[in-house]
Amino acid sequence: MPYLVREHLFIGNISDAADILQNGSAEITHMLSVLSSASISFFTEWRSSLTIPSKEIKKVYAGGSGDGGSGSVDDLGDGSRSCLSPTKLLYSLEYAGKDLKLVRMTVPIRDMESENLLDYLDVCFDFIDRSRKEGGVLVHCFAGVSRSAAIITAYLMRTEQLSSEDALESLRQSCESVCPNDGFLEQLKMFEEMGFKPDMFKDAFGDKQCIMISVY
């Protein structure tokens, strides 16, 4: 069962997401899936008995325009550059679930300490904000413990001007089990030091980084 974090904002795991995709929800109209694969087939690979209809809206690649093409890594429209590979998927957007009524965005992030979380925060924030205005949004990963928790913690940091520790503690008031991996925790501290805006010239691992900003 998803946990309510803020008004119209929920956190959960893959089982919660599958239940909503199969049966629908009066409260949740949008879903942010933070999984290693963007494909809806991830659910059927997890549980073979599941059949979840979906209809693609778009896929956005680093440097791309959102039309399914890879685009140019330099062409971000705001003078900035993305250090994501031009063939790397930034996010996918689709209608999914019962009667294709739910809007689902998937961000392909692995639950690994070396995974760069910062590149994806802006698109996640935009989707969460829009989803909360239009209905309710479930942010989930596989276990509902690390990746989804890191995204929501960063979201609370920016929207409520909280430190990484205070934001995570606030999230734990809703869901005690959340525990982002150490790499994500380090990046959340870096995000705080950046003033809640990813720095396009560095990341938590000391490497040069540029941020791709793209919304649907």
Per residue in 44-73, pLDDT (tens digit) is 777 777 889 999 999 998 864 444 443 333
Amino acid sitting at position 10 = F
Domain assignment present for residue 115? The answer is yes
Tell me, what's the pLDDT at 70? 38
Domain assignment present for residue 198? The answer is no
Domain assignment present for residue 160? The answer is yes
pLDDT tens, residue by residue, 80-137: 444 555 578 899 999 999 899 999 999 999 999 999 999 999 999 999 999 999 999 9
Q: Which residues pair with 91 in a beta bridge?
A: 60
pLDDT tens, residue by residue, 141-179: 999 999 999 999 999 999 999 999 999 999 999 999 999
Q: Is 89 helix (H, G, I), strand (E, B) or coil?
A: strand
Domain assignment present for residue 43? The answer is yes
Calpha distance 8→86 (Å, rounded): 34
Is the separation of the CB atoms in 82 and 63 below 8 Å?
A: yes
141 is catalytic: yes
Tell me, what's the pLDDT at 86? 56
Domain assignment present for residue 216? The answer is no
Tell me, what's the pLDDT at 136? 98
Domain assignment present for residue 97? The answer is yes
Neighbours of 61 (CB within 10 A): 25
Paired tokens of 127: 């989707």
The domain tally of the chain equals 1
> Which residue among the candidates 141, 175, 179, 210 is catalytic per the annotation?
141
Is the separation of the CB atoms in 21 and 102 below 8 Å?
A: yes
Q: Which domain holds residue 69?
A: 3-193
Calpha distance 71→33 (Å, rounded): 24
Is the separation of the CB atoms in 120 and 91 below 8 Å?
A: yes
Domain assignment present for residue 204? The answer is no
Domain assignment present for residue 124? The answer is yes
List the CATH number of the domain containing 77.
3.90.190.10
